[in-house]
Chains A and B, each alone.
Chain A
Amino acid sequence: MMELLTGMLTTAVVAGAVLALAGTGELLSERVGVFNLGLEGLMSMGAVMAVIVVNAGHNTSTALLIVFGLGLLLGAMFAVATVVLRADQVLCGIALTFLGVGLAAWIGRSYSGQIVKAQFDVISIPILRDIPILGRALFEQTILVYLSYIILPVLVHCVLFNTRHGITVRSIGENPAAADASGIPVLRLRFCYVMLGSALATCAGSYLTLAFVPAWTEGLVAGRGWIALGLVTFANFMPLQVSLGAILFGTLSSFGFAAQANGWPIPSVVFSMLPYVGTVLFLFIRAIARRRGQKFWMVPAALGHPYFRDER
């Protein structure tokens, strides 16, 4: 039983990390008012790029850095359309998903099934790892897991809610006209945060190939980008809740593991569906809960709306 719980929790943590990282990226973008639906495409590009770099003989850190740079570049492309030209964010996001998924499958076809040559090492934290059940699941993981669940969310939380810059950033997502009037460079900051958010999403993709599975295959991302999008709404646009929600969403992937270990007589397709059905279910539960207590509903007021100076 203990073994099973540890196994399930480990699976949940490992599967949820990618959602936490992508979700944090999306949160940055949505907090400044830009809905980035391109997560799935960005993650695909990140996953395949990481394999290409690593299999060319470089180490994992270099790969992560290059993937981050690629994410900035793709984010800049998205931001030119949505922030500078003020194109439809939904259409551009879907276009980015098509482009990323299609391009990744195309440039990755010769790498498909190849074993990834270098992956991130597990960093074991002494003392903490000996806690029963939780220890091995939480404190014997790769650096990316710590980064996704703890370091980044805490950092983002502190910056957003405890610094002057954080107020600036949040105000852009709430009321860009007021922010503009008080001298905040709305478009410039939006541009930067969309780039940064996209870069984190591509890094989340590289997590898949550098720490999660041993090889790139087509369709590897498998809707995780869309689940991460749901996670951000579910988490009320709060970084720490994104981190906690990611473990919850990750748990949905761990039932398949439990079923395999116990030989439950349920077709595996049920477990394949579970993350998607569960995400929809969670969104409904959260939305119904929100109807009772409206004050906790903190969607950035300007989310999805391009900002024009003359339309305030």
Chain B
Amino acid sequence: MTSTSNVARSSGWRVQRLPTIDGRRRAIAYAIAFVLWLALVGGGLSLASFAVRDIVLRAISVTLGSSYGIQQTLTLAAPLLLTGLAVAVAMRIRVWNIGADGQFYMGAWAAAGVGLFLPEGPTWLMLTLMAIAAGLSGALWILIPAIGRAYLGISEIITTLLLTFVASFLVYYLASGPWRDPEVPTQAATARIIYELPALNDGAHLGIPISMLLVIGFGIFFNYSKWGYEITIAGANHDAAEYAGIPVRRRILQAMLISGMLAGLAGMIELTGVVYRLQGGMSNQYGALGIPIAAVASGSISGVAAAAGFFAILLNMGVSLQTQGLSVHSVLAITGLLLFLVAAAEAAARFSICRMSASLAKIPASGASI
């Protein structure tokens, strides 16, 4: 394998593709993508006759200028940390869990079931039970796609996503039908769950440090355990890992189950920390946002924390700007654009244009390096 390819062969200029990219090149490419993204979003908004400068200033002051705004951002970051981590764990072994929203719903569903129907108990015990139920339920929801992926070669991308629709229908049905709180006729939601995650100070809840600890814990676990190493190797090259004696299929299954468990836990934390009632639409696309978070972090677990923080700010801006006619959907579109540019930048960073010296350029470009 040679490291260069000649595209523009006739002139002295050549486009080369580098076999690896260093951190500097990647940072520059990401920075260009980011600036391009800002320009495109700004341009798009001003075309739609929004006062971009006012919006941005207002958004920044609302999200980061007050302690309330910062708390809101942190509260949004808790589920994003977990769904981002969920996607990143699967991504480590080159598997895509793009249905984290489904596992999120099923986690919230299981936690709500425990909270509503089990006999009353001390809060700490019930919260623990809810967390276990949510994790198991999330893992169970991804079990079928995981078996399909690991043992039958069925694309987990399609199955995880399709099951998300099923989960959201199920939660919507329960919240507006059998589990509905009859005392609140205006809202299609279950009764308020009496167990709440303890508040830290005014506003922020315990789920935020828990999510953060989980991210750090998984980061350490992936970098320093044999299991994490095997996952990484299997992700880099399935065949080579198989040859080295790593049970790749089992690792895929395990990684996906952990991924589902984390997303389910995010559902429980959102339920007991923010919404308190099981209701349709409560996942708020946190699971989908886990994908760009994991992608921007490019599979690194510690990068997830930074990316989740960034997307929490973005989401909070989107929420706070709804009064200005910008909907949550524009946040989805803006996120999609960013994801697209980042993916393109990652690839583009590998290309370099260089000038060949005259003597080299004259060499007919046949032979080994076509």
Contact = CB atoms under 8 A, between A and B. Distances in A.
B320 interface: no
Given A226-B161, A283-B154, A308-B5, A81 B347 contact: yes
Contact of B166 (A86, A91, A102, A276): A276
A34 interface: no
A310 B166 contact: no
A127 interface: no
A222 B165 contact: yes
B339 A273 contact: no
A273 B171 CA distance: 12
A230 B288 contact: no
Interface in B330-365: 330-337, 339-340, 342-344, 346-348, 351
B333 to A, nearest CB: 3
B152 interface: yes
Contacts of A229: 155, 157-158
Given A92-B340, A92-B343, A311-B1, A106 B161 contact: no
Interface stretch (A6-14, A54-62, A284-292): A284-292
Interface string A81-123: 1000111101110111111111101100100000000000000
A94 B339 contact: yes
Contacts of A99: 333, 336-337, 340
A230 B87 CA distance: 21
B3 interface: yes
A102 B158 contact: no
Nearest to B94: A90
Nearest to A218: B329
Interface string A18-31: 00000000000000
Contacts of B261: none
Contacts of A2: none
A109 B328 CA distance: 12
A248 interface: no
Given A81-B343, A92-B343, A287 B173 contact: no
B159 interface: yes
Interface in A235-292: 267, 269, 272-273, 276-277, 279-280, 283-284, 287-288, 291
Interface string B1-42: 111110000000000010000000000000000000000000
B144 interface: yes
Contacts of B334: 102
B260 to A, nearest CB: 15
Contact of A41 (B17, B336, B348): B336
B311 interface: no
Given A283-B154, A284-B154, A105 B336 contact: no
A92 B17 contact: no
B174 to A, nearest CB: 9
A88 B148 contact: no
Interface in A180-230: 218, 222-223, 226-227, 229-230
Contacts of A98: 288, 292, 332-333, 335-336, 339
B280 to A, nearest CB: 11
A173 B343 CA distance: 22
B163 interface: yes
Given A97-B336, A99-B337, A106-B327, A85 B347 contact: yes
A252 to B, nearest CB: 12
Contacts, number: 152
A283 B159 contact: yes
B5 A37 contact: no
A106 to B, nearest CB: 5
A88 B343 CA distance: 6
A88 B347 contact: yes
A276 B165 contact: yes
B265 interface: no
A168 to B, nearest CB: 20
B134 interface: no
Nearest to B369: A310
Contacts of A276: 162-163, 165-166
Most chain B Cβ neighbours within 10 Å, of A97, A105, A276: A276
Contacts of B295: 91
Contact of B173 (A88, A223, A226, A267): A267
A311 B340 CA distance: 25
A310 B4 CA distance: 7
Contacts of B344: 80-81, 85, 87, 92
A95 B347 contact: no
B102 to A, nearest CB: 10
A233 B162 CA distance: 14
B343 to A, nearest CB: 4
Most chain B Cβ neighbours within 10 Å, of A109, A229, A233, A269: A269
Given A272-B169, A287-B153, A310 B343 contact: no
Contact of B329 (A101, A222, A267): A101
Contacts of A295: none
B162 A280 contact: yes
Nearest to A231: B158
B291 interface: yes
A164 interface: no
B332 A288 contact: no
Contact of B157 (A90, A100, A272, A291): A90
A76 B26 CA distance: 25
A85 B152 contact: no
Contacts of B247: none
Interface string B60-103: 00000000000000000000000000000000000010100000
11 contacts: A91-B340, A95-B292, A95-B339, A99-B333, A99-B336, A102-B333, A102-B335, A230-B162, A277-B166, A279-B162, A287-B153
Interface of B: 1-5, 17, 96, 98, 144-145, 148, 152-155, 157-159, 161-163, 165-166, 169-170, 172-173, 177, 288, 291-292, 295, 327, 329-337, 339-340, 342-344, 346-348, 351, 369-370
Given A223-B162, A272-B169, A310-B2, 10 more contacts: A81-B343, A91-B340, A96-B336, A98-B339, A101-B329, A218-B329, A226-B158, A284-B144, A287-B154, A310-B5
**Shortest 3 CB-CB distances between A and B: which pairs?**
A98-B336, A102-B333, A102-B332
